[in-house]
Amino acid sequence: MDLDRIGLLKAITQRMEWLGERQRVLAENVANADTPGYKPRDLKAISFKQLVEGRETSVRPRVTQAGHLGGLAGRAGDQWASTRSRDAYEVAPDGNGVSLEQQMMKVAETQADHNLMTSLYRKQVGLLRKALGSRSGG
C-alpha cells in the first residue's frame, strides 16, 4: 500500500519535510550569530490546510549537474525558499541581526510542531492497521 496516496499522510510527510528544512535554516542562523552583516533567514510559511486540501505542490529535488544527487530543499526556486527574516529584535553594531533568543524560540516551536506531526502520523498509521485488521505494530 502506497501511503503517499492518502492525502492526510502525504500532507503530514510534507509538513515534516518543511519542519526539517526550517530547522536547517535556523541552525545556519545560529551558526552565523557572530558573522558581521549576517541577516537571519526563515522559510516561507506553509499552510497545513492547503497541504491537506492538495493545493501545495510536492517537493522535487533539483539536480545542478548530471551525475549529482538532487539539490537541497530551501534553495532559490524551491517552494520553501528561505527569506530574510523581517522581525529581527535587534541588530548589532556590525550589522548582524541574529537574536539567539529569537532563534531558540523558533527552534523550540519547530521541534514541538515536528513532535505533533510525528504523533499524528503514528495515530493515522495505527488507524489504518486497525482498519486492515493487522495485529502487530512493527
pLDDT confidence of residue 68: 55
Residue 33 phi, psi (nearest 5): -60, -25
**What distance, in Å, lies between the first and last C-alpha atoms of the chain?**
16
* DSSP 8-state symbol, 35: S
pTM over 0.85: no
Helix H or strand E encompassing 82: strand 82-84
- Percent of all residues in the chain with a pLDDT value above 70, rounded to a whole number: 67
Q: What 3-state class would DSSP assign to 43?
A: strand
Task: With beta carbons less than 8 A apart as the criterion, state whether 52 and 7 touch.
Answer: yes
Residue bearing the bigger pLDDT, 115 or 9: 115
pLDDT digits (tens, 9 = 90+) for 43-87: 988 776 766 676 555 555 555 666 655 444 444 445 555 565 555
pLDDT confidence of residue 31: 95
Task: With beta carbons less than 8 A apart as the criterion, state whether 30 and 103 touch.
Answer: yes
